[in-house]
Structure 1
Amino acid sequence: MKKTVKKQLLMNKSGDEIQVALVEDGRLAELVIERPDSLRSIGDIYLGRVHKVVEGLKAAFVDIGQKSDGFLHFSDVGTTNEDYRALIEDDEDDENGALEGEDVEKNDDVQAESKPRASEKAPRSATPERKRQSYTQMIAGKLKANDSILVQVIKEPISNKGSRLTSDITIAGRFMVLLPFGGGQIAVSRRVVSRKERSRLKKLVRSILPEGFGAIIRTVAENQEEELLKKDLEKLLVKWQQIEEKLQDAKPPQLIFKEDTIISSVLRDSLNSDVTELVANCPSIYKETLNYILWAAPEMEKNVTLYQGKLPLFEGYGIAKDVESIFSRKVWLKSGGYIIIEHTEAMVVVDVNSGRYAAKKEQEENSLKTNLEAAREVVRQLRLRDIGGIIVVDFIDMLDQKNSKKVFDSMKTELRHDRAKSNILPLSDFGLMQITRERIRPSLMQRMGDQCPACGGSGVVQARYTTINQIERWLRKYALQRKVMFQKLDLYVSPTVAEPLCDEERKTEMKWFLQHMLFVKIKSDESLRSDDFRFYLQKNNKEITSEFSDL
């Protein structure tokens, strides 16, 4: 029997920041945050200008008005032009041409990646290599610098990388995703398992879908009445009409369509019958939520409430500590073990440790119990922190292959609850598990935190004695090249470096005078990092550090 998970959506507004938390069985599972300086851009549609086409990368860089050019891979170029349609092969099935795209199976909530791409099809007579070469040449031949092109954001900018773009436009609704250039293609989420219901939904949508449009039918459409689906489609068609009207006078780069508000987006993607409570601490958010519920799921109106508690919303529901834990490297397990989460440039590494857990059982059984608990917590942390890309988990070594399979199966089961797409490999002989998780925006830790000015994000600062050695090398070099004897210098260093230098027993200033015939006055400056120092001439306060630096 499937276990029912109690879910709550908590919508908290604090100043200009909006936080939406998904709580499962009393624990924070997902957290979405939006600030004026970091608005969500997934799903936004732009009229862009092609900056340059790089055939070697099979991609174009498109100016959409953001800090960095967007990245448009040739495989993400739409197939609306007649020249591109020559590459498309008619795909018919028992439902009169309806397609069941593989990408719809796991995550039908991701817009542009949720539908089958016509651009990935080629005539049966073409070999795969010839197909790729032909397609690349055709796209490269059509895309030119300064061309205008309608594109949609499918991945937000991460670090110094621009947005990932597609010209296969999609508009997501509550029950379906509209494909303006879908050519009559209809796909159904594979989470809808009943063949009878799948057939009903396809026939229903096909009967109301305008000619030339396509659609992906989402999981929440299962068993819904025709009237609700019609209303959803009408709203999507109105949005597309507004896009077409705005395009008539648009000049690139220009934003053409902005995705729904964070509240509407979360309700659209997360609302289902498992959600037992929707709580807002702000009247405007409460009203927006209630209006959406009255349209999409009127039977859930009683579940929407305006928070009246004395404590802050997250404190009142006991998840404030979970929010704070997002910045912690160490996450404790109930058994006494813990996991360490480390972010690197290339991947995220998770280390599992048994900690103080040592039951009166065999080591193998202890390791299995800790690893199983860690597998559940790792997936929870991936969802909570919105970690994407490559993740490597170093589990505690186990000798029995059956136990390794149990950990692998447990991880697969937990990942099924995650809306983001992921791939997972069994444990290697070294006890390592490799996971890839869909990344469409910077992780929550990156969005909520700033890089440490002291360590530059590495988590490690230079030892103060290393800085002292660098200072002494600088003095030796300066003493050899100076033209005036007995000069007076001021040395500014951080307080941590100044402490050992000013130690009376070391008599650093006297030592340097005897060694280099220089009068050096050591001064503390809290604005400097522990790996930094500054030398100034006392007579005119001129900085001379860089002139004689060998670092």
Structure 2
Amino acid sequence: MKKNVKKQLLMNKIGDEIQVALVEEGRLAELIIERPESMRSIGDIYLGRVHKVVEGLKAAFVDIGQKSDGFLHFSDVGTTSEDYRALVEDDDNDENGGDEDDDENEGDDNAEAPAPPREAARPAGQQKSEQGQQSSGDAAERRQSYTQMIAQKLKPNDSILVQVIKEPIGTKGSRLTSDITIAGRFMVLLPFGGGQIAVSRRVVSRKERGRLKKLVRSMLPEGFGAIIRTVAEDQDESLLKQDLEKLLAKWTQIEEKLQDAQPPQLIFKEDTIISSVLRDSLTTDVTEIVANSKSIYTETLNYIQWAAPDMVKNVSLYEGKLPLFEGYGIAKDVESIFSRKVWLKSGGYIIIEHTEAMVVVDVNSGRYAAKREQEENSLKTNLEAAREVVRQLRLRDIGGIIVVDFIDMMDPKNSKKVYDAMKAELRNDRAKSNILPLSDFGIMQITRERIRPSLMQRMGDQCPACGGTGVVQARFTTINQVERWLRKFALQQKVPFQQLDLHISPTVLEPMRNSDMKTEMKWFLQHLVFVRIKSDESLRSDDFRFYNRKTGADITAEFN
């Protein structure tokens, strides 16, 4: 039976920045931050212009007015044309598939429409008959035909209506789809859904699923589809109708704006961060909603009076003397987002390292190791670490590939316990994830949905000293590089006794000053060059500059 967790939503406004914290049992579980210069774009709809089509990648690059072109994979190109229907008619399962579709919006800012029907997977161990081989071949031909059809339909300079499903990360542009969806409180509208109606898997009652589908089907205009969200369970028809009317009004506005639009142009902007968070996070177990801003408080109250009138009593305006996060004891949790090391209550700790390809988490027993038998100690530390790892993934909004190096355990049953514990914790995470059991080396592999840069990337800047590696070049390595430069310079000079100025970081200058022989004198005796060393705080510890003293010219690059 699922434990009922006490949850709070804290909405903190500091200047132009808005911070929304989800607190579970007194600890920070999720933090969403929005600044004017980094507004969220998930769910935004653009009229884009196709820049180029790369059939080998099965994708098109679309100009939507951002720094980098958006990436539109062929599988995300929606179509209801007859030639597409002909390609997939053998797999058409509108009615049968609808009941099994999950709510794609259970933890995201927007929902995705059900993907085009795919070939059913072959049961394990089933022998390939001639008929099966023929079917597989037909499926491959259909997929190839579909790819070619999309490539032919998408041409450079074509206008196309697209929606952002993943924000730009690093040098990669936004991930786009042309399967447009508009998310509401109780359902997600599919303007090109063709009558498809899906219900969240979390609505388990067959009777309730049938009631919801029947209600929504009776309300939907012809040609539209919908995904019914979990929070719609047991809701009155009037509320569902109000939600649908709002979504249809938004779609009407989009259609009207499209009439005079020129690509690239923003057609529809997702709801404010407050409305989006309330839409996706407001559940019956949220016991308190607090805002420190009157404008946010009013917006929150207006939304809840419509969406969940019985929860109005849980909304309040913060009037404490301490800052909101300090008053609720989560300020330190916010600061911990930048820490590599996270301590466990038992005395163990985890180390979180970000690399270009993945995030690596190392579990250590710390001072807890000597208190118990090794196997029991390893199991308890690993179980505690599993809970903390999931909490940190949610808190830091880490996505992509995550590799966790647990403490080695001898008993396979204990490895299974850690795997089960991790799966149980991930069920509370709204982001989709996949997990593999521990390997023989104690390694667990996880993939977690990534729709925007991690919180650490959005809140922090790359270190200018180490370039994000966390390691700076040793001072003596820089000194060796300086001396190598001088040898090369001296060998190429026909006239001795040249005069140079060396600018170097104070941290590198320190050991040079402490040497037995004065460095300038040593270099003169070795190379017959007069060098005057100057401290320059603007330089990193792995950098230096040589200047010609007479002309003032920087000659460093000439002899590197």
What TM bracket, shorter-length normalisation?
A: over 0.9
CA shift, 1:3, in A, is: 2.0
Query: Partners in 2 of 1:365 and 1:98 — Cα distance?
Result: 46
**Does residue 478 of structure 1 match 2:477?**
no
The residue that corresponds to 2:56 in the other structure is: 56
- Give the one of 133, 136, 153 matched to 2:144: 133
Query: Partners in 2 of 1:217 and 1:107 — Cα distance?
Result: 10
CA offsets 1:296-343 (integer angstroms, 9 cap, x no match): 000000100000000000000000000000000000000000000000
The residue that corresponds to 1:84 in the other structure is: 84
Please give the TM-score of this superposition, normalised by the length of structure 1: 0.96
CA shift, 1:501, in A, is: 1.9
Please give the TM-score of this superposition, normalised by the length of structure 2: 0.95
**Does residue 37 of structure 1 match 2:40?**
no
The residue that corresponds to 1:415 in the other structure is: 426
2:450 partner SS: coil
Asked if the contact 1:184/1:213 (under 8 Å) is kept, the reply is yes
Counterpart residue type for residue 100 of structure 1? D
The residue that corresponds to 1:455 in the other structure is: 466
**Does residue 266 of structure 1 match 2:277?**
yes
Counterpart residue type for residue 5 of structure 1? V
Q: Which deviates more, 455-464 or 81-90? A: 81-90
Counterpart residue type for residue 26 of structure 1? G
Alignment of 1:198-277 (within 5 A): 198-277=209-288
2:172 partner SS: coil
Gaps of 5+ in 1: none
CA offsets 1:428-456 (integer angstroms, 9 cap, x no match): 00000000000000000000000000000
Asked if the contact 1:176/1:221 (under 8 Å) is kept, the reply is yes
Q: In 2 relative to 1, CA 127–301 (structure 1 residues): closer, same or farther, beyond 3 Å?
A: same
1:305 partner SS: strand
The residue that corresponds to 1:116 in the other structure is: 114
Number of residue pairs aligned between Structure 1 and Structure 2: 547
Query: Partners in 1 of 2:547 and 2:108 — Cα distance?
Result: 57
Query: Partners in 1 of 2:517 and 2:364 — Cα distance?
Result: 43
Q: In 2 relative to 1, CA 267–195 (structure 1 residues): closer, same or farther, beyond 3 Å?
A: same
The residue that corresponds to 1:99 in the other structure is: 98
Counterpart residue type for residue 208 of structure 2? E
Query: Partners in 2 of 1:454 and 1:360 — Cα distance?
Result: 40
Counterpart residue type for residue 14 of structure 1? I
Q: In 2 relative to 1, CA 278–32 (structure 1 residues): closer, same or farther, beyond 3 Å?
A: same
Asked if the contact 2:187/2:244 (under 8 Å) is kept, the reply is yes
Alignment of 1:459-470 (within 5 A): 459-470=470-481
- Give the one of 506, 515, 533 matched to 1:522: 533
1:249 partner SS: coil
The residue that corresponds to 2:23 in the other structure is: 23
Runs of 4+ in 1 over 6 A off after TM superposition: 90-93, 121-126
CA offsets 1:381-428 (integer angstroms, 9 cap, x no match): 000000000001000000001101000000000000000000000000
Query: Partners in 2 of 1:301 and 1:108 — Cα distance?
Result: 23
Query: Partners in 1 of 2:278 and 2:148 — Cα distance?
Result: 42
**Does residue 281 of structure 1 match 2:292?**
yes
The residue that corresponds to 2:129 in the other structure is: none
Query: Partners in 2 of 1:451 and 1:501 — Cα distance?
Result: 29
Query: Partners in 1 of 2:437 and 2:385 — Cα distance?
Result: 15
- Give the one of 397, 401, 405 matched to 1:386: 397
- Give the one of 184, 194, 201 matched to 1:190: 201
The residue that corresponds to 1:157 in the other structure is: 168
Counterpart residue type for residue 34 of structure 2? E
Q: In 2 relative to 1, CA 113–208 (structure 1 residues): closer, same or farther, beyond 3 Å?
A: closer
CA shift, 1:87, in A, is: 2.8
Query: Partners in 2 of 1:153 and 1:265 — Cα distance?
Result: 15
Identity of aligned residues (%): 82
Asked if the contact 2:91/2:119 (under 8 Å) is kept, the reply is no
**Does residue 307 of structure 1 match 2:318?**
yes
CA shift, 1:127, in A, is: 2.2
Query: Partners in 1 of 2:158 and 2:305 — Cα distance?
Result: 44
2:299 partner SS: helix
CA shift, 1:117, in A, is: 1.6
CA shift, 1:504, in A, is: 5.6
Query: Partners in 2 of 1:217 and 1:400 — Cα distance?
Result: 44
Q: In 2 relative to 1, CA 110–120 (structure 1 residues): closer, same or farther, beyond 3 Å?
A: farther
CA shift, 1:97, in A, is: 6.0
2:538 partner SS: coil
CA shift, 1:132, in A, is: 1.8
Counterpart residue type for residue 381 of structure 1? Q
Gaps of 5+ in 2: 121-133
Query: Partners in 2 of 1:512 and 1:441 — Cα distance?
Result: 53
Asked if the contact 2:91/2:117 (under 8 Å) is kept, the reply is no
Query: Partners in 1 of 2:41 and 2:369 — Cα distance?
Result: 48
Asked if the contact 1:18/1:34 (under 8 Å) is kept, the reply is yes
Asked if the contact 1:155/1:164 (under 8 Å) is kept, the reply is yes
